[in-house]
Every structure is written in C-alpha cells, then in structure tokens.
Amino acid sequence: MNKMKQFSLMRVFLACLLASIITTAVGVLVLALVYVIPQLYPAQTVQPSSRPSISSPDIKYKYLYHLDKSEVFEYPGGAIQWGRYRKNPSDYENKLAMEFGSNINEMKSKMMIGTLLIESDGLRVPHWHFNANEHGYLLKGKAWIGVIDDGTNIVATYNVTAGQVIFFPKNTLHWVKNIGEEACVFLLFFSTHDELLTLDMDDAFFSTPDDIASRSLKPIGGVNFIRSFPKQKEDQAINLPSNLKELVMNESYIQSEESTVWKYFFDLPGSKNYIFPGGIIQWARYQKNTTGMTDNEKLFSDSLHQQAGTLTLATLRIYSNGLRQPHFHFNAHEMGYVKSGCGEVGVIGSSVTDFHIDVGDVFYFPIGTQHYVKSTCVEDLLLILAFSTGDQLKTLEMDDYFHATADQILAQLFFKQQNEFKKIPVFEVDQGITRP
C-alpha cells in the first residue's frame, strides 16, 4: 500500500516536473524570438524606391503651353498641333499638356488653339464644326478659302494672304486650299473649352447609305456612280493625292463679291493701328461705334455680332523693352501665341506665377486675372491674341485704377502719406503699352 502511494506521488512529481520543463522551454523560445533572433538577424527594412517621384507640374503650366513642341498629327497634305482639353486623360501626350488643357476647361475659357500646316497644293477638306466658331490668322503663305452660307449653296471664296483673319461660324461648311509654292500655316482659335466636334465632307459621304446618296445627288449612273468613289485607308483631313495633276485639269481660284467675302475675312494688316508709347495693337472685332470704319470692316463687325459665342482677335506688338502694363479683362478670357520675339509674363489671380515666353508658345489668362507682358529681346515681341467675347472687350489697367482710387483710400491701404500718391503722374497719352 505504501509502495503504491510512493509510486503515485512519484508520478505526480514527474508530471509537474515535465510541465515545468515544457513551460520553461516555451518561455525561452518566446524570449529568443523576441529578443535574441532579431539581434542575430536584423530585419531588412524596405527602402524607398531610388527612382525620383514625378511631382506635379509647375503652376506656370496652367497658363503656359509649348504649342510648337506638342504632338504632331500628320496627314497626307499637312499637319495639325493642338493646345486643348481632352476628356480621356490618356489622350494627353504628357502632364504639361494635361495641366494646360484641364485648366482652360475648368475655367470655362470658351477657347482652344491649334496650328494648321498645309503643304503646297494641299487641301484642308470641306468640313464643319458642331460646337465652335472658328477664328484664324494666317501666319505665312497663301490660301484659297471657300465658305458656304448656311441653308444655301452660295459660296464665298477669297485668296487669303499672311496676316489676314478668317472667321467661320459654327456649323458652316468651309475648305482651305494652299495655292502658294510654300507651306501655309494658320493659327486657329475655336470658341469651345470642350473637345472640338468636327465632321469632314468625305466622312459624311461614306457614312451615308449608297442609295440615299444616289437619290440625293441624282448622278448619271445612279448608285453605281456613288459606289465608284474610292475610300482611302488614311485619314484625308488634309488631303494631297499623289496623282493630283491627273485628277484636276482646270484650276480656278475665283474671288466672290466683297459684300459676301468680308463677312468671313478681315484685312488685319490694313486696319487701324492703335499706337502707344511702347507698341501697337490692331483689332479684328465687333465695334458698337462704327465711326471711321470702312464698309468691309462694318460687314465683318456685324457678322461677328450676329453669331453667338464669337471671339475677338488682335495683334499686339511690344517694342523691345516695352511693357504691356498689368491689367485685367472684365468680360473675357485671353489666349495668346508668340509669333516673334521673346518676353516675360506675370499672372496674378487665384495663384501667382511668372514665366518666360518664346516663339511658338501659348499663354492663357482667365477672366479677371491681372497679368502683364514684357518684351525682353532685341527684336519686338509680336503676339496673336484671342478674347472670349463677341462684344467690345472691357479692360482695366493698373495706372487707371490707381488714378481712379481716392488718395485717402490709397494712404490707408498702403500705410503711406496721402500726398505721396501725387507722385504717380497722369499722362495724356494712354500708357497701356509703355516704355521706360
């Protein structure tokens, strides 16, 4: 009996001892995992990627776009480059294009810009735009242009030369044919900040059922004649067939009566010069006061005003070291293109920035945003400007609003003696563009 009790006690002792050994072993293992092993094998921390992060574009690219360096859309007879908004972000060529395009859309600028290059004998095929008026400036070359009045078959044709302005109302069919020996280049502004919607005549034709086209045109040969039209694989937006001489035997570039022509074209180089101490402005715009305007200028002015959502165009020449002083526009966004020279631009609005501009650059100033442009090259700075209004442009310049503000208000605002503001002179000649 005693032996059995001793055996039972031994079993209890051994069980307790085993449990103690297991507990101790588990404790030692836990301590090793927590303290010892990490010291023997330090954890490998994940280092940040050595690849530089892509930061947001400089704020200046909300207002600046290098149009001449943008993506080139090539066609058989020329090329187009765009500064515009795209609905699909992946359609932008880079972040800078997206920054500019998104800003002109978000600010509802009612403007976009592009350049159209047409090779000698090339044709921007007949087409129309659903959602925008088109305003253009011929940078170089010579072109024969046709515009078909809405609802009629009356066409206005005209030979446009460098410096002249063109205007095509929304949904007006028009074409542009290069009739010079060199390539012609247009700077184009469209009155939309959304994606431009365009239909070319050939696309409309090939999208129309053969029998419908045959019944409409009633050609000799009927539907078989319609089916004989060859559809090209390549987009013919700017067309230049290799066998053009075989296709066209009798070219005729007639010009329409002036009463028809000047609704769509404007001789900007021959218009009035608005002269300032530091430069010159010329306008292609609507004017309420027709005093001093020629009959052709009145036709163009009325044509602009009769259409909704048209633009005002201008050329601004700033002499070397001249300054288009700080100002802002009440009723229009502004977009500009650098034709020659170089300069510095300052923008003061919801954000503040300044930047350099050179030939081929585009800049944009939202409505109400104060801005200035200074010519910094030896040669004059020549700008082509567009404003998002078909009415007269309303502008206020820094010297004008300083002079119009009471001295005592300026003194309180700037913590400066009231009589000090008498030092700001009032000039008889408008200082809109000034020189030192």
In CATH, the number for domain 266-434 is 2.60.120.10
Query: For 75-99, how does the pLDDT look when each residue is reduced to its tens digit (9 = 90+)?
Result: 999 999 999 999 999 999 999 999 9
pLDDT digit string, tens, across residues 94-153 = 999 999 999 999 999 999 999 999 999 999 999 999 999 999 999 999 999 999 976 667
Residues 110 and 170: their CA atoms lie apart, in Å, by 13
Instruction: For 298-307, write each residue's pLDDT tens digit.
Output: 999 999 999 9
Q: What is the pLDDT of residue 154?
A: 78
Q: Does domain 59-260 have CATH number 3.40.190.10?
A: no
- CA 427, chain centre distance (Å): 36
pLDDT band at 34 (very low <50, low <70, confident <90, very high): very low
* pLDDT at residue 309 is higher than 50: yes
Residue reference for tokens 């609905």: 87
pLDDT at residue 16 in the model: 56
pLDDT at 260: 87
* Domain pair 59-260 / 266-434, same fold: yes
Length of the chain: 436
CB 263 within 8 A of CB 133: no
Of the pLDDT bands very low, low, confident and very high (cuts 50, 70, 90), residue 40 is: very low
Task: Give pLDDT, residue 20.
Answer: 60
Where along the chain do its domains lie? 59-260, 266-434
Query: In sequence order, what are the beta bridge partners of 65?
Result: 362
In which region does residue 222 sit, left (phi positive, over 0), alpha (psi from -120 to 50) or beta (all else)? Answer: left
**Integer Rg of the chain from CA:** 35
**Residues 104-138, buried b or exposed e (16+ Cβ, 10 A)?**
bbebebbbbbbbbbbbbbbbbbbbbbeebbbbbbb
Q: How confident is the model at residue 39 (pLDDT cuts 50, 70, 90)?
A: very low
- Over range 190-207, report the average pLDDT: 98
pLDDT in the model for residue 18: 54
- The beta strand positions in 34-172, using DSSP E, are 64-66, 73-75, 78-83, 112-118, 123-129, 134-140, 142-148, 155-161, 165-168
Mean pLDDT of the chain: 90
**pTM score above 0.75:** yes
pLDDT-derived band at 349, boundaries 50, 70, 90:
confident
